[in-house]
Amino acid sequence: MKETKTKKFTSKMQKKLVVLFLFVLLAFAGLGVRLFYLVKENETTYQKQVLSQQISDSRTIPFRRGDIVDAKGTTLATSEKVYNLQIDAYIMQDRDDYLEPTLQALATHFPDLNISEIRQFVVTHPESRYYIALRQLTFDEISGFKNAQAENSKIQGVYFEEEYKRVYPGGSLAADVIGFTRSDNEGLYGLEEYYNDTLNGTPGREYGYLNDTDEVQRTVKQAVNGNTLHSTIDSNIQSIVEKYLREFNDSRKNLVHDGNGAENVGCIVMKVDTGEILAMASYPTFDLNDTKNTQALIGSPMIEQYVNANGYTIYNNTHTPITQEVLDAMPEEDVLLNLNNLWKNFCIANTYEPGSTAKPFTVAAALETGKILPEDTYECYGSLEVGGHTIKCHTKGGEGLVTVQDSIAWSCNVALMKIAASLGKEEFAEFQKNFNFGLKTNIDLAGESRTANLLFPVENMKPADLATNSFGQNFNVTMIQMITGYCSLINGGYYYEPHIVNKITNSNGDVVENIEPRVLKQTVSESTSELIRQYTRAVVMEEGGSRRTGKTARPAGYAIGGKTGTAETLPRDNGQYVVSFIGHAPADDPEIAIYVVVDRANAVAQDDAKFATGIVRNVLTEILPYLNIFMTEELSEKELAELAEKELAVTTMYAEQLEEEKRKELEEAKAEMAVRDEGLDPNIGDQPGESDILGDSPNNPNLSGDEQIQDSGDKP
């Protein structure tokens, strides 16, 4: 029998085993360290992965889009909580005794709900956990069902998902400025689009998951609500502006042809020394709470699209008013095209030739460069030969001798052409850019047009082109460009960036950003600005003489300045005109500017600036007292009667001065009567009584119309 040898566990083997053990130990240690760092670095990721495997249910918590308020805090746009009715078919058919009680409760509390469709959906989609049956219900509309649900445990599988609905308390008020939103909180047009990211917040999330003991645990990440915009719009001024645009339309609607009172009418009111927009409106308009209501299109000029021979889509304004019959037959894509045209902000998106409202800019440029002097004069014989073309003045017989002031007050084309010739085309073009023509103003609204290609190229400008450019033809502008540039003409030369939002706050009311007025450049000197104020005053006030073109823009009791404009649309000689008035008040110390444009009035003769000046007069008559800008001019019987008819108070500096004078006279009379009664001076004769003192003042604004003396000035 072979003897088995026993192996000895040598020291060498022991050493190998120790080394192996240490190696394994180090490997585990290294693995542990690596695992520790992996977990540490990716803790959030792994937690989310685990959570995703454990989630029992989850829901998105909607954010509340920020409000838009006016200058006084009045809400223009807000978001109200609403509820979507959600059907969970899986729960509803889980037990036989759930379905019928639930459907019965739905039928009772939501009569507009099609119960047959709900039943069919539950039966055919038993695994469905999410189906929206009704949208944007108010709390009052769902409260009855929720009470029934709380009282009856067999009403199952119905939930209410929260969201927010955009609401505009003013309806159509400031529609062009505000814009609106889609159902997904994306802003369209106006402030809603421009400040979309500012107004929107961040949605939250609520997670429900099962822990180790099968209990439902919830983790909530709250939503962050959007910020609020504080605008410069004054709802009172905005309402006044919109009232008179609407009245103009109503007065001329279907007058000469079917359709609105004009293709477009726009008005902007701006603070001269800050660039703040107090009001901006156009007509036709629309209801922000019902933006797709096609009835708003009726009477508007129709926009058509067609494909030309090269395959390009062409958009054409046919000037044909939309009727109900046309609307009923219109393809859906054309309806949307016309709605988009309605939603555009006329004051910043549409372009046109400014006409004679451009004349103060031409004169200012020539004065600023020293090419003309205030005392220069020009002869006007009714037309001027320029570059082989005969270009007429609006006065056929000519104006005769015309001063620089008269060239604006009387709107003399001949004088302006001569002034532009002395300026030269290079400097004329340079000043156009200086006044920001051809450039965006960068107003904080979506949809401002680019007009760089709408200026006449200086390299192609011939003498006749310069001549017509001098009085506002052959180049296009937007309303916002014109009024912003005009403010710089009359405020000392300071070009302010126009803006509508001056403050942004968060949902707690804390200020996120203050938006201060920004001076971008100086367009003219103070001395030139002072002359332009003088010249534009002469357009409206008596110093302009009987030939002044803007006298009908003057509101009773006020001195204002401004300029009328008439521009013939293309093609020429078609009898279609854009008329306008741009002005400021008070005349000598401007606080606000106003610009009204009437695009092709519903009239036989469209070239009547009174269409625009009448709106200006009506608007200023109401907003100037509201802004505590006092009257400085005497009131005629006719003006007093007009104010009384409008139930407007005569709150004037002039009236206050008269009241002070009457008070002093009355006190003096009473003192004299007291002296006489006390016998201190027996030589004093009969003194006038109180009624005599008050009754004989020919300018007493508190007297009735037939007791007033007639105003010697021309009636606007």
Residue 536 pLDDT:
98
Q: How far apart are CA 671 and CA 669, in angstroms?
A: 5
Identify the pLDDT of residue 315.
61
- Measure the CA–CA gap between 92 and 106, rounded to whole angstroms: 12
CATH label of the domain that carries residue 181: 3.90.1310.10
Judge whether 466 lies within some domain: no
- Stretches in the chain below the pLDDT threshold 70: 1-9, 38-57, 209-216, 305-318, 649-716
pLDDT for the residue numbered 620: 98
User: How many domains is the chain partitioned into structurally?
Assistant: 2
pLDDT at residue 464, rounded to an integer? 96
Report yes or no on 695 lying in a domain: yes
**Residue 576 within any structural domain of the chain:** no
Note down the domain range covering 693.
Answer: 653-707
pLDDT given at position 614: 97
Cα Rg of the chain, angstroms: 37
User: So what's the pLDDT on residue 41?
Assistant: 66
Backbone angles phi, psi at 580, to 5 degrees: -155, 165
Q: How many CB atoms lie within 10 A of CB 549?
A: 23
Q: Is residue 319 part of a domain?
A: no
Domain boundary, last residue among 231, 264, 285 = 231
The pTM assigned to this predicted structure is 0.81
Amino acid 690: pLDDT:
31
Q: What is the DSSP letter of 705?
A: G
Structure tokens at 655: 């009236």
Could you write out the DSSP letters of every residue in 435-461? Answer: TTTTS----SSBTPPP-GGGSPPGGG-
The pLDDT, as a whole number, for residue 55 is 46
pLDDT at 18 (0 to 100)? 73
Of the candidates 166, 437, 448, the one whose C-alpha atom is nearest the C-alpha of residue 280 is 448
**Last residue in a domain, options 231, 247, 277:** 231
pLDDT at 708: 29
> Residue 100 falls within a domain, yes or no?
yes
- Any domain includes 408: no
State the DSSP code for 6. P
* pLDDT score, position 233: 98
Q: Which of the listed residues 182, 201, 231 is the one where a domain comes to its end?
A: 231
Q: How far apart are CA 710 and CA 479, in angstroms?
A: 38
Residues 6+ apart with CB under 8 A from 131: 86, 87, 88, 89, 121, 125
* 615 inside domain: no
DSSP letter for 170, please.
T
Judge whether 423 lies within some domain. Answer: no
HSE-CB at 151 with a 13 A cutoff on CA atoms is 7
Enumerate residues 6+ apart whose C-beta is below 8 A from 172: 242, 285, 286, 287, 288
